[in-house]
Chains A and B, each alone.
Chain A
């Protein structure tokens, strides 16, 4: 008797084991006509496969861990209202889908794919087109978002959302995605230990990357280009940004990289090319900025007086209109062994370091920081004459902000 019960019990539990995963196909010659039905019938560990075709569905929920994959040409279209796919089950994978037109809303952040209160999810190789928000992770952990292409059609900030949006997450990997034409390309708030690697974020209305209150994150080898205001990084500690490219963020309020209240972080081996302001530091402390290249920017570095104990070393500053601007005549930051294309000193002992100190803040940079209206005199003869005179007889130039031993050749 007892044995028979045991047998039935065993049989039933084996049925629900992942090893018995089924394949559910959705499509005209599949077993389900709509994805909604398939998701309702799915058991944990099943694979739901979407055949090519356009599925006009929205507000889909994944409640059990499964693999949802789209064959090439499988499109989920929300037709401009509501959200498309919500994942509540840990361990879900979504890949190969084309998701279109989640609805613009002033009340809800309608995303193409939302992961909420779940862990260990994978969002891979999807195409998100003309959605309000793209991929939205809220209260998620140990998830990966890789190789997705997210293309919006943002026109105004108020009616557009973010490409990849993370809120209150831990241990997330975001790799090799390309995001364009959203409000912010990648947005982080309250995220810990995330890695953002090899993504392209360009032509976004506001920021290519925007994060706040997100400590201990790593940003490596990303490209941020042609974004309305560049990249803004605020209120975070122990972050590492390396080998990223910040390019062509050009406009009256654009920054290559804006750092506000950043502490104990490292910015290394990045390239800043043609930005209005390449690196802006406000309220930063104990941060090491090294081995970066600043090329052809308006301002290479704007260092506000509220930044202290930062070190800038082995950077190269080449052909920038203004190398360093500051609003203070004193400086609590260290400049050492940088390369400045403006430097005219000599190196008698041939140790690679110039024998004459370099003062990177010109008189005009200092005055125009305090009285922005005089910037209209940029490149006028008067200003060039003045800067020349300052170089020979410094009167206004801050003495404390000095590179005592600048490099003679660009590093690397």
Chain B
């Protein structure tokens, strides 16, 4: 083995070629133009996370039981009078907290508005959804929380924004944001701050600007009650007691995409598809994650780069060996190694995600290995030139093709 492979590990050329790979990556990152369009590989990977396979293909959370701590009320197309009626019924059932995941943009007719306003004002454990309007993302003074038409009368609010590309997959959320010096909570965190402040404190100790959502349940793994059934008193009196009740819009029709988003639970983890999860179910998943304390962690940046450099080093050593000693096999071995590592690294990433809720981004190491072959060609030319000009000692000088 030593003869075959490891002896190339400590060669100066191997180490320099490995460093060149990262130098090239660094130089590419300095180009001010967004060159991703010229790179189909990068374009294809833009909204792809290999960890999504854990959900969509490997059924990471198959068999997760119903979360009976959270009840979702489907408000359907209820008007403001209907919503006021639902809130009244829910609050009479004494839940821990009620979250109304609706943004009311404007006034309507006076009587329904007045009814709903009164209901919001007199329900102290009701959390209303708002949204952050990032008018100018680089100018913090322009930031503001849009509280909607009933914002002035609602004591508890949380912004319902998720983090993700426009129309892209929702994988993360921001627990809180500072807006004009004021701390604003996200919708699920505002709900939890009423239901269980201790859990919010624990989460804040993690000091994360954003959290990866650990999706544990699909829509059908939550108790979803139709708003009409609630209004008709078809719910057992104690069913909602001490529960977290979320009021939101759910439409089981897959072709209805109102308030639906792409999530890693989507059966198609890459390529064109239709959004799969309503916003209220994503909020429910965030709540379940915090209630269970099952956060997604990530490895420290320094450790990530050490692992990536190690992977690159091992591959460059292997490539150098074949490049110099058995060039006829070089391309075949390189391609096989790339395929083998791609499959292995994705597998390791998924397993870490599944077993330890630890997220490892394997895309960078894949890019490094793909680049390594081209960099070896470049490094060879450079090393030979340095040898001719300055007497630089290199393995390439005498042995290569």
Is the A/B pair a real complex? no
* Residues of B near any A CB (own CB < 8 A): none
* Residues of A near any B CB (own CB < 8 A): none
